Structure 1
Amino acid sequence: MKILISNDDGYQAPGIVALYEALKDVAEVEVIAPEQNNSAKSNALTLHSPLYVHQAANGFRYVNGTPADCVHIALTGLLDYRPDLVVSGINNGANMGDDTIYSGTVGAAMEGFLFGIPAIAFSQVERDWVHLQSAAQKAREMVLAMQQQQMITTAPWLLNVNIPNLPFEMIGAAKLCRLGKRHAAEKVIKQQSPRGETMFWIGAAGPVKDDADGTDFHATAQGHVAVTPLKVDLTDHDNLGYWAQSMNRLTSSPKI
Structure 2
Amino acid sequence: MSGPRILLVNDDGIHAPGLKVLEEIARTVSDDVWVVAPADEQSGMGRALTLNAPLRVEHFDDQRFSVSGTPTDCVHMAMDILMNDARPDLLLSGVNSGQNIADDVTMSGTVAAAMHGIQMGVRSIALSQAYGFEGRDKIRWETAREHGPRILKALLDTPWSQNTLLNVNFPDRAPDQVAGSEVTVQGKRDQVVLRADERMDLRGRAYYWLGFNGKLSDPAVGTDLRAVYEGRISITPLHLDLTNYDARTRLKDALGETLNP
For structure 2, the residue ranges without an aligned partner over 5 or more in a row are none
For structure 1, the residue ranges without an aligned partner over 5 or more in a row are none
Segment drifting more, 111-120 vs 161-170: 161-170
Q: 1:116 & 1:244 partners in 2: Cα distance?
A: 32
* Cα pair 1:15 1:129 within 8 Å, conserved: no
Report percent identity of matched pairs: 36
* 3-state SS of paired residue (1:116): coil
Q: 2:197 & 2:125 partners in 1: Cα distance?
A: 33
Residue 23 of structure 1 corresponds to 26
Residue 64 of structure 2 corresponds to 60
Residue 140 of structure 1 corresponds to 149
Residue 115 of structure 1 corresponds to 120
Counterpart of 1:170 (choices 154, 177, 192) is 177
Counterpart of 2:165 (choices 146, 158, 183) is 158
Name the amino acid aligned to 1:164. Answer: P
For normalisation by structure 1, the TM-score amounts to 0.88
* 3-state SS of paired residue (2:241): coil
Name the amino acid aligned to 1:222. Answer: E
* 3-state SS of paired residue (2:48): coil
* 1:181-238 C-alpha deviation (Å, 9 max, x unpaired): 2222454223344455443322425734441211112112222100110011112211
Residue 124 of structure 1 corresponds to 129
Compared with structure 1, are the counterparts of its residues 247 and 31 closer, same or farther at alpha carbon in structure 2 (3 Å cutoff)?
Answer: same
For normalisation by structure 2, the TM-score amounts to 0.86
Name the amino acid aligned to 2:7. Answer: L
Q: CA RMSD in A?
A: 2.4
Segment drifting more, 234-243 vs 41-50: 234-243
Q: 1:64 & 1:164 partners in 2: Cα distance?
A: 31
* 3-state SS of paired residue (1:140): helix
Q: 1:185 & 1:164 partners in 2: Cα distance?
A: 18
Name the amino acid aligned to 1:14. Answer: P
Name the amino acid aligned to 2:35. Answer: V
* 3-state SS of paired residue (1:76): helix
List structure 1 segments (4+ residues) > 6 angstroms apart after TM superposition.
Answer: none
What is the CA-CA distance between 1:52 and the residue it aligns to?
1.1
Residue 12 of structure 1 corresponds to 15
* 3-state SS of paired residue (1:230): strand
Residue 236 of structure 1 corresponds to 244
Residue 180 of structure 1 corresponds to 187
What is the CA-CA distance between 1:164 and the residue it aligns to?
1.5
Matched residue pairs, number? 251
Compared with structure 1, are the counterparts of its residues 222 and 170 closer, same or farther at alpha carbon in structure 2 (3 Å cutoff)?
Answer: same
Q: 1:4 & 1:160 partners in 2: Cα distance?
A: 16
1:216 and 2:224 aligned = yes
Q: 2:25 & 2:110 partners in 1: Cα distance?
A: 18
What is the CA-CA distance between 1:53 and the residue it aligns to?
1.0
Write the mapping of 1:27-38 to structure 2, written as runs, cut at 5 A: 27=30, 28-38=32-42
Residue 48 of structure 1 corresponds to 52
Q: 2:228 & 2:62 partners in 1: Cα distance?
A: 33
Compared with structure 1, are the counterparts of its residues 222 and 40 closer, same or farther at alpha carbon in structure 2 (3 Å cutoff)?
Answer: same
Name the amino acid aligned to 1:24. Answer: R
